[in-house]
Amino acid sequence: MTRYSKQREAILALLEGTKDHPTAETVYAGIRSQMPNISLGTVYRNLAVLAGNGRIAKIRSRDETLRFDANTRDHYHWQCRVCGKVQDLPMAVETSLNAAAERACDAKIERHDLCFIGVCKSCGADEIEHENVERHKTQEMWET
Amino acid sequence: MTRYSKQREAILALLEGTKDHPTAETVYAGIRSQMPNISLGTVYRNLAVLAGNGRIAKIRSRDETLRFDANTRDHYHWQCRVCGKVQDLPMAVETSLNAAAERACDAKIERHDLCFIGVCKSCGADEIEHENVERHKTQEMWET
DNA sequence: TTAGTAACAGGAATAATTACTGATTAAGGA
DNA sequence: TCCTTAATCAGTAATTATTCCTGTTACTAA
């Protein structure tokens, strides 16, 4: 039986009030300003409870730690590969992909997670040319 | 300067010889059978080097730890939400999605990671009905 | 050969997350 | 309104995944 708790409400409210996808640690920092002695364990526990309820979604982008999102309507994300920022993408979900995937494997496909990788405008501005590492003969040999 | 090493070669060979997407720990266990005193740190370091080279790809599915894949051609994955297994999906990559995404955000989109979620055949067989948790009035109230 | 340095094994350190403990407190019933 | 009980809490210890450090080994180029 899930019971009301001020802490859980605050966590949900924080997530609903942001367009970001904060990590557990970020949620903790945010809640602490209004509830100074909440514990990190409580944040983790409630994120798990809320995710279990389907009130929030856990998302995970490449190389990143777990992030949370109060927008549980199925939607896509994109991440800047330079600064690592993750954002919602206001575009329609291609549900037809699920059927296509199901044709290609032996499973009942229910949904999909899609994250685009790119470079955001501000990072693109000062992006440095990719280093063109000189490859040594030896390396080429075994790297073939 | 990247230099030849037996350990790195073994790690790459193991990844190339599997259709799985092993975790670092799994790679470690696999290599240890043929090279008993390789260290876990070496596995991590070489996975990072190989991923840096583009020889392998890091993949991350929801709720999972990092996994590695020697197939660096862009391709999709699917994961069983019951047993957690991750597999390749033999279907074409929808590169047109990148352009669609780019229209929806202020960034240069380069690629995308797509992972389908479903239930594999063997898990589907013995899947149990989702518990229909009785919601209490109080919970409804604050959960609205 | 040998100097230089990438890579190694082993282990310590860090980061993220989960589990435990005893104290609180919401919720339903007397 | 007052109890009972179990969910939740704060605080902390433990675990897990990953990275970093140290002294040693062994490719490579000269």
Counted residue by residue, chain B has a size of 144
Average pLDDT over residues B63-89: 83
Distance, in Å, from the CA atom of A64 to the CA atom of B109, rounded to the nearest integer, reads: 18
Number of domains comprising chain B = 1
Residue B33 within any structural domain of the chain = yes
- Confidence (pTM): 0.76
Residue A48 within any structural domain of the chain = yes
Is B115 (CB) below 7 Å from strand D? no
Main-chain dihedrals φ then ψ at residue A71, nearest 5 degrees: -85, 100
Which pLDDT does position B3 carry in this prediction? 86
Inter-chain touch B97–A115, beta carbons under 8 Å: no
Residue B128 within any structural domain of the chain = no
Residue B102 within any structural domain of the chain = yes
Instruction: Give the gap in angstroms from C-alpha A125 to the nearest C-alpha of chain B.
Output: 11
Average pLDDT over residues A63-85: 82
Inter-chain touch B112–A114, beta carbons under 8 Å: yes
Confidence of residue B139 (pLDDT cuts 50, 70, 90): very low
Please state which of the ranges A64-68, A112-116, A117-121, B97-101 shows the lowest mean pLDDT: A64-68
Output the domain CATH number for residue B93.
1.10.10.10
Residue A142 within any structural domain of the chain = no
Distance, in Å, from the CA atom of B60 to the CA atom of B17, rounded to the nearest integer, reads: 20
Residue B133 within any structural domain of the chain = no
Full domain range(s) for residue B107: 6-120
Confidence of residue B125 (pLDDT cuts 50, 70, 90): low
Percent share of chain A, pLDDT over 70: 83
Residue B35 within any structural domain of the chain = yes
Is A136 (CB) below 7 Å from strand C? no
Contact A80, A119 (CB under 8 A): yes
H or E element: which one contains B108?
strand B107-120
Confidence of residue A132 (pLDDT cuts 50, 70, 90): very low
Residue A133 within any structural domain of the chain = no
Question: Is B42 or A61 the better-scoring residue by pLDDT?
Answer: B42
Full 3-state SS string of A28-80: HHHHHCCCCCCCHHHHHHHHHHHHHHCCCEEECCCCCCCEEECCCCCCEEEEE
Inter-chain touch B107–A113, beta carbons under 8 Å: no
Which pLDDT does position B54 carry in this prediction? 84
pLDDT tens for residues A23-32?
A: 999 999 999 9
Instruction: Give the gap in angstroms from C-alpha A118 to the nearest C-alpha of chain B.
Output: 4
Which pLDDT does position A124 carry in this prediction? 72
